[in-house]
Copies of this chain bind each other. A is one copy, B any other.
């Protein structure tokens, strides 16, 4: 179910004209990267992946280039492509851009379309269902959907694309979180409240709430990274 929706999300970007092999390959790889099957830092061999997916090296390289520009892969000349390995600095940067775009969209939501507002509500309900069934990764997905819907209030195709890219990178970051439930669960209530404020037209208030919430999440992630790099937390060999 969740996977179906994820595919729908990714697929809804470009309409139905989805016949390019390159994009299909990129979709498959994106999925594997986002759900962790391809770990951050892993090298993707052209020959191996090409053989596994049954596509030529040239086609694969075009797909690599696509995902590199989405921030999911990094390309090192003459060395190959690697799954992006976000750092604490990347987290700070990602949240900086998110704050600018999401808060701007929320503050200007007076002119948002009804469908855009409805998407926010739908993401909240989706999160509730995931919570009820104990699907913590699905809860994370719903949370992403929530933020994408917030950004969508601006009615701006470019904002939508930028935020989608940022959230995909953020998915990589979440792989360092050892406790997805504790991380994602508290935000469900916040999302509900922000949605309520949005429906009542209390936009500035909603934006302030969202801003504070982003600060907390960023802090939490940065701390998680610090703990990873901190030698005292490493188990003795």
Which of B19, B97, B157 touches A93 (beta carbons < 8 Å)? B157
Q: Which residues of B contact A99 (CB under 8 A)?
A: 104
In the assembly, what is the distance between CA of A97 and CA of B99, in Å? 13
Segment of A135-143, A158-166, A175-183, A185-193 engaged in the interface with chain B = A158-166
Q: Which residues of B contact A220 (CB under 8 A)?
A: none
Count of identical protomers in the assembly: 2
Instruction: Identify the interface centre among A61, A97, A166: most chain B CB within 10 Å of its CB.
Output: A97
In the assembly, what is the distance between CA of A162 and CA of B169, in Å? 15
Q: Which residues of B contact A65 (CB under 8 A)?
A: 62, 65-66
Contact A158 B94 (CB under 8 A): yes
Chain A binding surface, main DSSP class: helix
Contact B156 A20 (CB under 8 A): no
**Given A19-B77, A65-B62, A77-B19, A100 and B96 touching (CB < 8 A)?**
no
Number of interface residues of A (CB under 8 A): 28
Q: Which residues of B contact A69 (CB under 8 A)?
A: 66, 69
Contact B96 A156 (CB under 8 A): yes
Return the CB mask of A98-115 against B: 1 if under 8 Å, else 0. Answer: 011101110000000000
In the assembly, what is the distance between CA of A194 and CA of B13, in Å? 38
Which of B58, B61, B96, B162 touches A97 (beta carbons < 8 Å)? B162
Return the CB mask of A7-42 against B: 1 if under 8 Å, else 0. Answer: 000000100010110000000000000000000000
Other than A93-B159, A100-B154, give 17 A-B pairs with Cβ distance below 8 A.
A19-B77, A20-B77, A62-B62, A62-B65, A65-B65, A66-B69, A69-B69, A93-B158, A94-B158, A96-B158, A96-B159, A97-B101, A97-B159, A100-B100, A100-B104, A100-B105, A100-B159
User: Residues of A at under 8 Å CB distance from B?
Assistant: 13, 17, 19-20, 58, 61-62, 65-66, 69, 77, 93-94, 96-97, 99-101, 103-105, 154, 156-159, 162, 166
